[in-house]
Amino acid sequence: MIHRQTQTREYWTTYKFTRADAEFLSNYLLEAGIPKPLSELALAVIQHRIDIEASELRRELESRTIYQPKKKYTIGEELVFPALKLTAGKVVSQRAGRNPDIEPFDVITVELANGKQREFAANYAWPHRLNDDNVLAVLGDDTIQSTLQELLEQHGERIGAAIDAGLAADSEFLRISGEWFLRAMMAEVNVGHLNLSEAVLDMAGGGPLPTHTILQELGLPPEIAGSLQEISLNNALARDERFDDVSLDDGVSSWFLRRLEPPEVRAMPRTLQPAHYQGQESIGDELRALAVELDDELTRDAAAAGEPKPSADVILTFPHLRAGTLGWSCRVAGILPAASKPRAPITFRDALNGREFVVWMVNAGAYLYGLGDWYRQNDLVAGAYLQLSRRPADNVVLVDYKRRRPKREWVRVANNRDGHLRLETAQRAVSCEFDELMSVFVDNLTALDELRGNAPRDVAQSVREAFPEIAKLSPQGNVHARTLYAVVNVITRASPLDVFAALQNSGAYIPVGDNYWHLGEVR
């Protein structure tokens, strides 16, 4: 019944962070005992402002005569009307009501604060909401929770920004990994503690170690709660360049020494650095569907990727075979634990022998690093089928490939001949199942590195170089787009869409069906 200011748009669009808000949040964080995100603080401030207004209204109503239809009033009596935004008025006259369908009642004339007169029922015994003696019901507190959520959705961003700026200007508060806490509640972590933390991580090969493990060696004051010790140490480590936060999104903070991290997780390996081609908008539906099927991490939609799955089959491409990596594609993302930090190490386990090794998830380049030794130990080739799986109970990823008895087969082999890509068909021993359209065997990796060069090559030029080499191995001279993508990536890292755009836009090639293309008349 009350039209509250805190439930109006005007109140929140002009919101300013005040000292009273700061004092409230100080007590709020003190009671919580842990850092809180800005969204939660904004919700708490909105609720607090609503509660303050409700308390003020309650005090005002309890100190004055509230108009209720069931009561009798006398001329000269002053009333307050909740349904009229707490407008006050004085009874100036009274008469009998006239309605044959209900019991007798009175009608009072009230002169309101604005000078206008209105009539109201009195001595009215019939049911009416205003006859409820519960002041809270009159205030309408039963609608507060839904209103709170609506206010957060409508104004939360602006309120949060004002709170964030206010807390940043107040030395009492401290921002920790995007959340806010009280500086006075933090344990003191000095240079000696940080040096000891470095030594603990050094003894562990650089890490990763969770914060609670490092804390066991530091001897912080025991009177400070363990959770606050972790918060304090996490904050200190995050501000020291020696330490890297490599936590997964499981709520457990984990740390690594930057100087002992593999260079390949801090800078993308040269083999994976992509070249791009403009003009993807012209690609036809058939090629676009093939690009989705190829599941290259360069075309991954990060917002849609990673729906959890128990297992996935992926094809190992040459750039990743050479770099000892695996693309963090949509299919692979469904197997991996969630990780939003720039780098995060996880454990891979060989499904055959149970041997475990560390693999780094690198967000910036969307790749996994640390599989090179496993590739070499199993004599894997570009085009090999890999199998990944993970149980929900742990963060260990099982890795395997489709094994078979070794035998010699006629395969596609890439070479560097006089500074140009050359393909030929030759026999090689193979001990794994592979995609025949995407397989590329390379005998001299160093020679191919020289052909690739120090910078990504032009995609269109790479297509022109690869297409005739593939075509000459086919009696019909046809080239499958899947094969073209695989061979181009031997000399230039490029996404399927970039390769297909260069293929379609060149004008030199014509489609002959089922994603096969043939060299046509050059326009």
Angle between helices 285-294 and 481-491 (to 10 degrees): 60
Please tell me the predicted confidence (pLDDT) of residue 305.
54
Burial (0-12, 13-18, 19+ Cβ within 10 Å), 19: exposed
Token couple for 246: 């490599």
How far apart (Å, rounded) are the C-alpha atoms in residues 196 and 198?
Answer: 5
CATH number 1.10.10.10 is the correct assignment for the domain at 186-261: yes
Residue found by looking up tokens 């060696």 in the block: 217
**Domain ranges within the chain, ordered by starting residue:** 5-61+141-172, 69-132, 186-261, 282-404, 413-429+437-519
- Give the DSSP letter of residue 356: E
- Predicted TM-score (pTM) of this structure: 0.74
Strands of 168-269, DSSP E: 173-176, 179-182, 209-210, 243-245, 254-257
Q: What is the pLDDT of residue 141?
A: 47
pLDDT in tens, 252-303: 899 999 999 999 999 999 999 999 998 888 888 999 999 999 999 998 875 5
Q: Report pLDDT for 213.
A: 92
DSSP state of 402: -
111 forms bridges with which residues in the sheet? 90, 117
The CA distance from 381 to 394, in Å, is 30
Two tokens, residue 364: 């910036």
Helix (H, G, I), strand (E, B) or coil at 503: helix
How far CA 197 is from CA of 190, 215, 244, 256, in Å, comes to 11, 8, 12, 10
Closest CA to 235 of 164, 187, 172: 187
Helices 226-238 and 191-203, axial angle in degrees (round to 10): 90
Contact 367, 268 (CB under 8 A): yes
For residue 206, the 8-state DSSP code is T
The DSSP letter of residue 253 is -
CA distance 361 to 343: 6
| Sign of the alpha-carbon dihedral angle for 305, 309, 313, 319 | positive
CATH number for the domain formed by residue range(s) 282-404: 2.40.330.10
Query: CATH number of the domain at 69-132, please?
Result: 2.30.30
CA-based Rg of the chain, rounded to a whole angstrom? 36
* Residues 484, 499 contacting (CB under 8 angstroms): yes
Rounded to an integer, what distance in angstroms lies between the CA atom of residue 101 and that of residue 126?
11
Contact 413, 419 (CB under 8 A): no
User: What is the spatial distance between Cα 417 and Cα 451, in angstroms, rounded to a whole number?
Assistant: 9
- Consecutive H or E run containing 167: helix 144-168
Q: How far apart are CA 346 and CA 361, in angstroms?
A: 7
Name the burial class of residue 218, with classes exposed (0-12), middle (13-18) and buried (19+) by CB atoms within 10 angstroms of its CB.
middle
Residue stretches of the chain with pLDDT short of 70? 1-4, 61-63, 85-86, 133-147, 221-226, 302-307, 392-393, 521-523
């060149």: which residue's tokens?
A: 506
- Average pLDDT score over the chain: 87
CA nearest neighbour of 199 among 252, 260, 251, 266: 260
